[in-house]
Structure 1
Amino acid sequence: MTLTSLQRSQLAATLSAVALVAGAGGYYLAGSQGGTAAPGKTDAQKPLYYYDPMVPGEHYDNPDSLSSMGMKTVPKYADDSGDPAAAPGFKIDPSAMQSLGIRLATATEGTLAGSLDVTGAIDFNQRDIAIVQARATGFIQRVYGRAPGDVIRAGAPIADVLVPEWGGAQGEYEAVRKTGDPTLIAAARQRLRLIGVPGGAAGGRGMTTIRSPIGGVITTLDARAGVTLAAGQTLAQVNGLGTVWLNAAVPEVRVGDVKIGQAATAELAGFPGERFTGRVIAVLPTAQADSRTLTVRIELANRDGRLRPGMFATVHLGDKSRSALLVPSEAVIRTGKRTLVMLALDKGRFRPAEVRIGREAGGQTEILAGLAAGEKVVASGQFLLDSEASLTGIAARPIAGDAK
């Protein structure tokens, strides 16, 4: 968490208040009494050192020392609770907890929803594409009024093309056919096939109509009347609409819950109350750096053509719930290097504890290790207490540690 200079000032003032009410019940009072023990301490409990809570990094041996800020130092004991058997931690006076906004929650066994709801967008099925090309050099004689974005049926005409080479070959075929020689006729027909005449058919005098092999939407169109074509030149590209892809953005922390072949359902604003069912066909290998998500590709049937590329959808993945140890998500502190919660111990004492977390849903986070059912954690004000723990040098309870 990054603090502004104003927030640092407010935090320092609050920590001073915490120090005044913490543990010994009167640190500054103890300091003003010279070398005498703080209230609640026996003579046998010697201070570890003396320090100024405003400058906790400075340690002094003399109870009459002044810190670099000119403040009287106070004693620091191994356990400011007064109980040598108490767990490591620091104490907050109960009367100060309300003013500090501290709210507690209990780690409990519960059911974590298994559904994963994300957003996605409809896209073309990139495996259902037809490229319409010229099979020989020729000239476009006629176009059929098509435009990019038009939805066409299979076999729809794109352009009429005149191919001079075909006209000569077809004339030769007709002459050979009249001879009645089956060998020559077969050779002439084979030549028609090799130069690209559709079906090797005779007739047509070099004119052919180029048609779309599939139904769908025209995404590109370069057929214009009078244009000279080269062999292999693309006239149009058609994307089928029988099936579409739904690309869903899944957080990388939840991508392990997605499996190839699992069912998925989608809801679209344009069709309220209706659900479209599909299956996961791929999890793309690259994560989006800005959103830390991976793209999960779902294939949906689109027989009536209502699903159009560009539409947004709410995607539901998974439907299994499971039992888990849960705490409020707001109680979890992520430092970047580790994950902590602030434990609420007996007698108003607090200590950070390291945890390992799992899934998150409905404002609850799964605890995989580091907590036991029934332990109390701080759900509000934990960042302030974590700062106090850092200032006073309280070590976090490790994941392998016993609950105390």
Structure 2
Amino acid sequence: MTLDRKTAIRWRGSLLAMAVVAGGGGFWLGHRGEAPATAVGAGGKQPLYYYDPMFPNQKFDKPGKSPFMNMQLVPKYADGGGAAGPAGVTIDPASRQSLGIRVVAAETGALASSLDVTGAIDFNQRDVAIIQARSGGFVSRVYARAPGDVVRAGAPIADLLLPDWGGAQTEYLSVRRLGKPDLTAAARQRLRLLGMSDGLIAGVERTGRANGIVTITTPIAGVIQALDARQGVTLAMGQTLAQVNGLGSVWLNAAVPEARAGKVRIGQNATATLISFPDETFSGRVIAILPTAQADSRTLTVRIQLANRGGRLRPGMFAGVALGSDGKPALLVPSEAVIRTGTRTLVMLATNDGRFHPAEVRVGRDAGGKTEVLGGLAEGEKVVASGQFLLDSEASLTGIAVRPIGGAR
């Protein structure tokens, strides 16, 4: 939660007044560590002036009741300096609980899920097998296949009659009968260069007969995307017979708003949920951020790769996506501790001597109630996570300097 500093200043007096009533009028905010006082000269210090917390810009030279809210005027003391330490707002320890002030140390950690978007499952376009004819010939038989069929690795697609292969095998057998190892090896290498597998060559050697009919199979398991093999069709060398897309992994194309694209990094973890499997989550990682934005929706496409065990994730399915931490450590503070003024971002530091003073910070991502601090704060420094707006308004009224980003220890 963030507030405009002017609004915080107006409300500061109201909060202070309520806290005074709740605490029996026993605490006051001080500057530079002076002890609270309710009368002129208390603690041996002379107030500079008195003021009404509801109207802090109006000054009075004597104690008494405020003419505006009929509440006791608050003394304002001069900065005593010396060994008390740097300027800061001081609160009576007994009054901190009434004000609800909570102090938390900045610590290194990883942000939780930072962005929830939607996406659709698509084929992994890197897991594609193109099945082609290695030689000119004819399609002698087509197996019962059709586009969209899911096939296993090694499933037959078509039987091809390849005359060139039959002739080459006949020549190889003739050379082999000569019993000259060097000529036999050269002839076998020629069969390999024509595209024949070692298994096919071994079969020719074992049977002693040429086999010009070859069964074309799919090298991977997946979905038949295209099938151009038809019985009786004449084939040219290199002609495509089928295309198969693997299903071992799929892509999830998530639409990320352009304004939040800076929060996504390659390698970032992602979790997907689908209405088809309401009790399960599927984990993956970002493998690409596509370079063009969608003009109509002003979104960028983020590509996430998911394992697809059992082939249950089908292209076209709709999914909710939670983009999580990229795994990189970051300095984190509670998001409620961050004060955004519109021109800069502040936190209220708590020092060991009980003082509070503002410090400027540079922040990054927000997620899970935590904010990433990119500069202006060091690990272990304590910040105010509750009641910081009252302290910030008091620091502003008394002119306490803000520690710049470069001043972090």
TM bracket (short chain)? 0.5 to 0.7
Is 1:266–1:314's contact at 8 Å kept on the other side of the alignment? yes
Contact 2:121 2:313 in 1 (8 A): no
The CA distance in 2 between the partners of 1:41 and 1:287, in whole Å, is 70
Matched, 1:326 2:332: yes
Q: Which runs of 5+ in 2 are unaligned?
A: 126-144, 150-223, 228-244
Aligned 1:289-300 pairs, distance under 5 A:
295-298=301-304
Q: 2:353 & 2:54 partners in 1: Cα distance?
A: 25
Looking at structure 1, the residues matched to 383 and 271 of structure 2 have their Cα atoms a distance apart, in angstroms, of 37
**Aligned residue for 1:101?**
100
SS of the residue 2:373 aligns to: strand
Q: Provide the secondary structure at the position in 1 that maps to 2:15.
A: helix
Counterparts of 2:15 and 2:357, CA distance in 1: 18
SS in 2 for 1:330: helix
Question: Quick check: 1:14 aligned with 2:15?
Answer: yes
Which among 88, 91, 109 is matched to residue 111 of structure 1? 109
Deviations along 1:324-376, whole A, 9 cap, x unmatched? 43323332223332222111124432212111223445544332322233322
Letter in 1 for 2:400: I
SS at match of 2:395: helix
Match for 1:13: what amino acid? S
Q: C-alpha displacement at 1:389, in angstroms?
A: 2.7
**Amino acid paired to 2:95:** A
SS at match of 1:98: helix
1:381 corresponds to: 387
Cα pair 2:114 2:368 within 8 Å, conserved: no
Match of 2:43 among 35, 40, 45: 40
Q: Structure 1 pair 29/42, CA: closer, same or farther in 2 (3 Å)?
A: closer
Distance 2:295 2:66 in 1: 50
- Kept in 1, the 8 Å contact 2:338–2:346? The answer is yes
* Aligned twin of 1:58: 58
**Within 2, Cα distance between the matches of 1:340 and 1:331?**
9
* Residues 246 and 297, structure 1, Cα contact 8 Å, conserved in 2: yes
State the match for 2:39 in structure 1: 29
- The separation in 1 between residues aligned to 2:321 and 2:302, in whole angstroms, is 13
Give 1:214-363 correspondences, 5 Å limit. 245-249=252-256, 252=259, 255=262, 257-259=264-266, 266-271=272-277, 273=280, 275=282, 280-283=287-290, 286=293, 295-298=301-304, 306-309=313-316, 311-315=318-322, 320-322=327-329, 324-363=330-369
**C-alpha contact (below 8 Å) 1:79/1:86 kept by paired residues:** no
Residue 111 of structure 1 aligns with an amino acid whose one-letter code is G
CA 1:313 to 1:377, structure 2 compared with 1: closer, same or farther past 3 Å? same
Please state how far the C-alpha of 1:312 moved relative to its aligned partner: 1.7
- Residues 1:283 and 1:93: Cα distance change in structure 2 (over 3 Å): farther
| Distance change in 2, residues 1:113/1:63 (3 Å) | closer
Q: Give, in angstroms, the shift of residue 96 of structure 1.
A: 1.0
Once the 2 structures are TM-superposed, how far is the Cα of residue 93 of structure 1 from its aligned partner? 0.9
* CA drift at 1:122: 0.7
- 1-side partners of 2:113 and 2:271: how far apart? 11
Return 5+ residue gaps in structure 1 as ranges.
31-37, 128-151, 157-212, 217-239
User: 1:112-153 CA deviation, whole Å, 9 max, x = no partner?
Assistant: 25876644221668x9xxxxxxxxxxxxxxxxxxxxxxxx95
Summarize deviations over 1:65-98 as a string: whole Å, max 9, x none.
9977387765433427x86643222211111111
Q: Which residue of 2 aligns with 1:190?
A: none
Tell me which of the two structures has the higher relative contact order, counting C-alpha pairs closer than 8 angstroms and 6 or more residues apart.
2
Shift of 1:15: 1.8
Matches of 2:399 and 2:369 in 1, distance apart?
31
TM-score (norm 2): 0.52
Task: Determine which of 110, 118, 121 is the counterpart of 1:120.
Answer: 118
| Counterpart code for 1:335 | T
Q: CA RMSD in A?
A: 5.0
- SS across alignment from 2:363: strand
Compared CA separation, residues 286 and 353, structure 1 to 2 (3 A): farther
Distance in 1 of aligned mates of 2:402 and 2:295: 34
Q: Measure the CA separation in 2 of the matches of 1:66 and 1:263.
A: 61
- 2:377 counterpart of 1:368: no
Question: Deviation per CA, 1:237-268, whole angstroms, max 9, x where unpaired?
Answer: xxx99876522437856735423x88866453
CA spacing shift, 1:318–1:362, aligned 2, 3 Å? closer
Distance 1:246 1:8 in 2: 47
C-alpha distance 387-278 of structure 1, shift in aligned 2 (>3 A):
closer
Query: Taking structure 1 as reference, are residues 367 and 118 closer, same or farther at Cα in structure 2, changes over 3 Å only?
Result: same
Task: Give distance in 2, aligned partners of 1:341 and 1:254.
Answer: 26
Q: Flag the 1:386–1:262 CA change in 2: closer, same or farther, 3 A.
A: closer
Q: Tell me how far apart the structure 2 counterparts of residues 281 and 52 of structure 1 sit (CA, whole Å).
A: 59
Query: CA 1:273–1:55 in 2, change beyond 3 Å: closer, same or farther?
Result: closer
**TM-score normalised according to structure 1 size:** 0.52
Provide the identity percentage: 42
**Deviation readout 1:256-303 (Å, 9 max, x if unpaired):** 5423x888664535245574757644346559999x975424477989
Q: How many residues align?
A: 281
